[in-house]
Structure 1
Amino acid sequence: MINVPSELLLTSKSLHVFLLKEKPVLERMLRIASTSLRIKKVGLTLEAVDGYVSFLYEEHKGSTINNRPSSSLFSEHLSCNKLLPSTIFHAYFVLFTQNTQERLLAENPLVEDLIHTLATMFDHSDSGMEAIKQHLNQQQQMLDTLQDVIIVMDRSGRLIKWNKQLRDKAATRISIKPGKQVATLFNNIPEEKLQRLMEEGKSKLELQFRGNMITDKLFTPHIWRLTYRPSSQTFILVGKDISKELDLQQELIVAGEVQKSFLPAPVANKQVTIKTIYEAANYVSGDGLGYLWLDNGKRLFIYLLDVMGHGVPAAIQTSAMQLLVEQVGKEPISLSAKLQKINTKSVEILTSDYFAAAIIVELDVHTGVGSYTSAGINHFVYSHKGIIKKVKTPGSFLGLFPNIPFEENEICFNSGDHLHLVTDGLFDSIDAGILQTKGSYHAVYQHLKTLAHISHEDDATAVSIFIK
């Protein structure tokens, strides 16, 4: 590729057109005196500006990295086409160049393009290296603008090229120079392991692994993408610093443990046994549960909540909903009236684009007569007189519209019966046939607990009640 200073660059916004002239002995580009020109073959009226361009003296299409008069760099698409029939003395070309920098930045393929450029640099023979060296500085400038660490190494794992991020992040005691074993930059990837990764990477388009780069802070965790270029027999490592993500992950783990610490303790008295299942899909959960004793321990109020969504936003909304449910749950009104009041208040509490599902049960532990009402959690598991079944119950979601009525249904319990309230993340995994084989309260509870551990696509929560 020949770098030729242009006498005139014709441009219209991001599209540039050059008129080129070739002779048997390569000469500089034909000078065009006017500052505005209509090329009939092209059909564009363009204005003249100064600049530089890299191109080939042949019919060609492709992409390159160009530089402006200010020495700043940008990406271009090139299309070089013969304009007039060639003669023994002359050949005319029209070269179209289109600035694709904004599109490339929007699609973020900059790393891929630069990796390809770096690899092809080492494909050239010694006679072409002088021309390539002229581009090293501008390519280094482009590499240094990237936030990720870029490493180019040979098939022996020795350092060939790198960017500013490596120099800035590596420990000051480590010397960064060509020929250095790249494995010495890590505290958990010895040379033998790096060689195994390189061998594995040869058979794949891309290989990802985690490696801790030695820094002045002891080490910094990175996710590395290893790419092999067969034509040059070089390997490209692109490392993304994940220390902030891991810090956030640790905070979420702590938040999840705090969330679990607020769960009500299991109950085992003369009337009932209550156990819970609480598995978050991603550290913190958008589900909530609880139970209250009313009328001096005569009646038991049980609820299960599922705020739509996952993670921290859903967890915060759930905490607010739990406070609301427990506050309204203590009021001396019917169960359906309680749910209606909870819904009206939740319209004010839940932020836009959020809504919740719930199911509430009240049970008189002395008479064994209870009632339930649903708002979006339209199912539960019920074992009565030894028969286990999945029960459906209608009800609209909470927080969408105020003043919605909710249906209240009666339910009766005998000694030995059990009830299991479950969220969608768990109910969708229940097989009715398998459920029938479980029989006892303990067997059903253990089955639900196993399902909760297996599936983590959604928060999995349950309240299991056994009537003694």
Structure 2
Amino acid sequence: MGEAIDVKDHLYLASIVFEHSSDGILITDASAIIISVNPAFTRVTGYRSQEVVGKTPRILRSGKQPPAFYYHMWRLLKEKGSWQGEVWNRRKNGDVYLEWLRITAIKDRMGRVVYYMAVFADITEREQLRNELLQTAKIQRDLLPAPLEDDRLRLKSIYRPYRYVSGDLYGYKWTRDKTKLFGFLIDVMGHGVATALQTSGLRILFRQAFESSRSLAERLAYINHEAMCLFTDESFAAAICFEIDFTTHTLTYASAGITYFLAYTGQVEGLIKASGMFLGIMDGVQYEQHELAFGSGDRFFFLTDGLFDMLPLSFAGEGKGSFRSTVEMLERMAYSKECSDDASAICLQIR
């Protein structure tokens, strides 16, 4: 058994924690008069101890919260003995900053409040990063094409980022004479802003491929060549592109790393294997393209890994159901708690 720590040792340890804590600490008496602050308080606020001791924490108020905010904070503090939340405060130089604040009432043996201790961390930079992620996510969503309306085709899309921004993206566009629809689905490895930038770069390359008269395989090879500069040695992307020709009634596809899609036509039902090297790994790769004939009522489902990996073994058979029910099933999977990746899909039915 170790020796018990006596009161002096407790006080010594507490003083060490107080002095060296990376969080700001402020202690007031029961009347909310500041009696002590630690060095981290000074680093965050700019106020030295002698400038705030004897005053109230109102010296830090930014004016961004209304009086009702502080009324509710103090009411909960008195009722429950503690309060925590985000607060906008002001440094000595006038800069406003966001902090995560926890206030605890310290009571004596009779249950009377004798001190209040406030511990806070500057989270301004974290909030700025979060806002930048939200703005990036909004830009990504704005890049998605508008819903497609056409008498020859039903198209439903799914787009569900796992964390704010997505490594997935899709697009589609008619040729000028509206006899062909070109589309693509992208799935970049990873998460975060860097992945979102890579996805946006690939989107530009695929949109350039809209205007090309070359075959799908040649267009995919060109995209891979141009995309080499977007990726490091540890990153890459999967993609699949397709072209629906309403003159020849054929769907042509070429794949780069998306190994399967679902098709339900008069000739095939269920999983279709689509092989091809990932984008951004090796230059000079040659891709294959394949063709499927289609007729009225035929359906095609192109999925990224976030959705495909969740498919039950029975799904290929379940996909024989109505187009609407299949899309709804995929949407439920994409937005379920079990989905642990970006999840996107392009779902097509020929009318």
Normalising TM by the smaller chain, what interval? 0.7 to 0.9
Match of 2:299 among 407, 418, 435: 418
Taking the aligned partners of 1:335 and 1:229, their CA distance within structure 2 comes to 71
Alignment of 1:199-218 (within 5 A): 209-212=84-87, 214-215=89-90
Taking the aligned partners of 1:188 and 1:380, their CA distance within structure 2 comes to 58
Higher strand share: 1
Taking the aligned partners of 1:154 and 1:120, their CA distance within structure 2 comes to 21
Taking the aligned partners of 2:19 and 2:121, their CA distance within structure 1 comes to 14
User: How far did residue 407 of structure 1 move?
Assistant: 2.7
Q: Using a 3 Å threshold, how does the CA distance of structure 1 residues 170 and 466 change in structure 2: closer, same or farther? A: farther
Residues 281-316 of structure 1 show CA distances to partners (whole Å, capped at 9, x for unaligned) of 222222221113236222221111111121211111
Taking the aligned partners of 2:292 and 2:174, their CA distance within structure 1 comes to 18
Taking the aligned partners of 2:188 and 2:237, their CA distance within structure 1 comes to 4
- 1:244 is aligned to 125
- Counterpart contact for 1:371–1:409, Cα < 8 Å: yes
User: How far did residue 398 of structure 1 move?
Assistant: 0.9
- Counterpart contact for 1:171–1:214, Cα < 8 Å: no
SS of residue matched to 1:261: helix
User: How far did residue 380 of structure 1 move?
Assistant: 1.6
> Which structure has the bigger radius of gyration?
1
2:334 matches 1:452: yes
Taking the aligned partners of 1:352 and 1:264, their CA distance within structure 2 comes to 31
Alignment of 1:279-358 (within 5 A): 279-294=160-175, 296-358=177-239
Taking the aligned partners of 2:30 and 2:134, their CA distance within structure 1 comes to 40
SS of residue matched to 2:281: coil
- 2:66 is aligned to none
SS of residue matched to 1:328: helix
- Counterpart contact for 2:184–2:239, Cα < 8 Å: yes
Q: Using a 3 Å threshold, how does the CA distance of structure 1 residues 435 and 151 change in structure 2: closer, same or farther? A: farther
User: How far did residue 410 of structure 1 move?
Assistant: 2.0
- Counterpart contact for 1:161–1:178, Cα < 8 Å: no
- 1:369 is aligned to 250
- 1:163 is aligned to 38
- Counterpart contact for 1:187–1:212, Cα < 8 Å: no
Taking the aligned partners of 1:154 and 1:417, their CA distance within structure 2 comes to 75
Unpaired runs of at least 5, structure 2? 62-68
SS of residue matched to 2:310: coil
Q: Using a 3 Å threshold, how does the CA distance of structure 1 residues 254 and 332 change in structure 2: closer, same or farther? A: same
- Counterpart contact for 1:170–1:214, Cα < 8 Å: no
Taking the aligned partners of 1:227 and 1:348, their CA distance within structure 2 comes to 53
- Counterpart contact for 1:157–1:195, Cα < 8 Å: no
User: How far did residue 159 of structure 1 move?
Assistant: 6.9
Taking the aligned partners of 2:117 and 2:266, their CA distance within structure 1 comes to 67
Unpaired runs of at least 5, structure 1? 1-59, 62-116, 122-131, 200-207
User: How far did residue 259 of structure 1 move?
Assistant: 1.8
- Counterpart contact for 2:187–2:238, Cα < 8 Å: yes
2:316 matches 1:442: no
Say what the alpha-carbon RMSD is for the aligned residues. Answer: 4.3
Count how many residue pairs are aligned between Structure 1 and Structure 2: 328
Match of 2:141 among 224, 239, 260: 260
User: How far did residue 209 of structure 1 move?
Assistant: 4.7
Taking the aligned partners of 1:198 and 1:436, their CA distance within structure 2 comes to 58
- 1:466 is aligned to 349
- Counterpart contact for 1:189–1:211, Cα < 8 Å: no
Q: Using a 3 Å threshold, how does the CA distance of structure 1 residues 171 and 370 change in structure 2: closer, same or farther? A: same
> After alignment, is 221-230 or 402-411 more displaced?
221-230
- What's the % identity of the aligned pairs? 29
Match of 1:223 among 100, 103, 106: 100
- Counterpart contact for 2:233–2:281, Cα < 8 Å: no
- Counterpart contact for 2:158–2:331, Cα < 8 Å: yes
- Counterpart contact for 2:271–2:316, Cα < 8 Å: no
- 2:276 is aligned to 395
Q: Using a 3 Å threshold, how does the CA distance of structure 1 residues 385 and 235 change in structure 2: closer, same or farther? A: farther
Q: In structure 1, what residue type is equivalent to 2:329?
A: H
- Counterpart contact for 2:34–2:53, Cα < 8 Å: yes
Q: Using a 3 Å threshold, how does the CA distance of structure 1 residues 155 and 270 change in structure 2: closer, same or farther? A: same
